[in-house]
Structure 1
Amino acid sequence: MTVTVPDTFPPSAPARAAMIIVAAGKGLRAGGGLPKQYRKLGGATVLRRTIEAALACERVSAVLVLIGDSDDTRYTDSISGLADPRLLPPAKGGVTRQQTVLNGLRALENFAPDIVLVHDGARPFVSKDVVNASIDAIMNGHRAAIAAVPVSDTLKRADGESGAILGTVERSGLYAAQTPQAFRYSDILAAHEAAAREGRTSFTDDAAVAEWAGLQVVITPGETGNIKITTAEDLRRLDNAAREQHMEMETRVATAYDVHAFEAGSGVIIGGITIPHDRALKGHSDADVVLHALTDAVLATICDGDIGHHFPPSDPQWRGAPSDQFLIYAVGRLRQRGGRISHLDVTIVCERPKIGPHRETMRARIAEICGVPLHRVSVKATTSERLGFTGREEGIAALATATVRLPAEDDDEALAEGARP
């Protein structure tokens, strides 16, 4: 079917934008015996945080939450003390997400918004920028818009039974859809009503309903932080992030140094990548001087020894081992303490091989190993002007600095437990 709409948005301003928050699902995969939207995230429920994020956007004129039939008490407890006239009384969801959204659209008929945004109740970190971009898309004449981010991971197509890879999917032009998804209210209501009349119930999101109705959907900028909570691991990780926002944090900086001599070979492993060279680096593991220095720097921020303490050269299991596992281990130890990497910096000292052509690949690999954005990793290189062992091309040195954020410790409490400065 096709919905007929005017080509431009009505000129009257300001437009009234309502946000529907879909929170009627069971969502038990996050554990705890509760729907995920009612699990705690940094001391407040996921749903409350989502509602607060919506109300933080001044251009949102009304917020309507769709809840499950038996969730009245849970919802009331979640919004306790949240006084904002824009938060409308909740409406009840349906058997499917599609039916739930239609119930919400119908419930907004008296409010009669110009624009409606549909948002997942389990996306509590949506920002004003993402919401405003969605509203702007409709204000500028588009009929439907979804927040989305470009796909950055390599995509593989595999056999469903054997798991065998059948091919690599070209990711150019592919986007991962998020919410909010924004529409002219009258358009999406008509589209949902038509889909319901025709028994079309298999749409996975509201953009799919709009596409079926003949509405062109455009993409607006999403954010990687606009995460949808699905599993218990999602909740644990984001709970730590939310708690960090409300606890006193301290910054720690640590430096480390490592060096490896050259030996016969045809390439060096530096920063997690292999660079062709007329020699190799000598070491018990793969001798990645950059990752070794970074490992020591990260461990030093939590006063947790060094690489030799955790991975002694005398232990044969580490012979020839890839050094990325050492750095992954160190970052894991940091995260167990509630810490986060703010910045990693490394300086490589050598005459050859030339680091410049490989610097960006090295940055990307270090970021991947540590699970941090690329902008948090710096790689530099210098020579020693033909002085010393590096100048004589006897080996390569690396100096690393790790800057991290950790939950602040009470010094008096630590001393009481027997710790000493």
Structure 2
Amino acid sequence: AGQRLLVAVPVFDNAHRKVIGVLAAELALRHLLGVVGATRVGQSGYVYVVDARGRVIAHPDFSLVLGRADARSIPEVRDLLAGRPESQEPEMAAYKSLAGKAVFGVQAPVVSLGWGVIVEQTAAEVMAPVRLLRMQLAGILAASVLLGAGLAVVLNLSVARPIARLTQATRQLASGDWSVRMPVARQDDIGLLAASFTQMANDVQQAERMLRRHEHIVSSSTDMLALLDKDYVYLAANAAYLRAHGRPSDEVIGRRVAEVLGEEVFSTVVRPMAEACLAGEDIRFQEWFDFPAAARKFMDVAYFPYRGPNTEVRGFVVTARDITERKHAEQERERLLHDVGERVKELECMYGAARSIRERETLEEIFQDVAALVPLGWQYPAIARGRIVFEGAEYVSDPFEKTEWVQSSDILVNGVCCGALAVS
């Protein structure tokens, strides 16, 4: 207790750069020991001081001071005395104390004296909050596991199983079982979801029924129907269309028009009409077509734009109806009308000749009238001309022109040729 600590520093002559003296001071260790002994850190922590050679000069355990214990056995103290700057932030480290106990310590230098101040606290006290936290976390984890297990059971009963049943029902619906339904016995979100599914299933079933009816109508139709995209690729075609072209569905659907109908038909007939249709117009036309699996047919064809939800034209629909019989009937009617017209002209010519015979007084007048009337009974009266030659006299329609195309017949009187009637 009566020991003293001598502290001495050299005095320099800066002008001559030499030591000119020594400044010394004595310090009673009991004062330093009193300060160190009174400083406590927690329950087990303490502070001690070492000199520049690592010897303990102040410690709550005075025996270490008397025994001049060497603290350089601690790597952290050794590093401190090796010259760590005073401005460097101290760092806590775990190591064995001079007494051989596991501690956490922090070291700080006293640069002016070359000493070191060390603060140590037992590892048990430092780690006590950590152990407590671990125990608390373990308890929380165990409670969470139990709570999670309970929630899992509840969710499995109230959510997972209904969702699993809903998933199974959705798969059945997707596979084509339109009769599947979800019973609704709840008023929560799961119940609303089940009700929505049931409504969707009803709507899908109704839509499927309508679709099948439309498919039946389309497939049963004798009209040819096809849907094509903007690249002239077939998206759909009904049975009548496939039969007419003598191809199965897989040789039409997904192929371009030129591959099915031929490049010439595509370039000369389909493409010009389709381009106008893709521009938004409804196109109708009638044309003769040669079908591989059918005779030559006269078709009434229509192209309609196929529009998407935003009214953008995405392709076109083709409908073609066989009107060959109607075309033949129209042609026959036209032929009959033409024949009737020709007969009418002939009758009018004969009626005119009979009237001339009744009304004219001389044979010359009758021949002149007949020469003018005969061309009116021909197929093309506007360019026909009549001429009668009888006993050397000539009677012609006005104006009369001789051509190389002539139809003529002799005029016989009692079996004797007296002249000729000609139309040119």
Structure with the largest fraction of helix: 2
Higher RCO, Cα 8 Å, sep 6+: 1
Bigger Rg, which one: 2
TM-score (norm. length: structure 2): 0.17
TM-score (norm. length: structure 1): 0.17
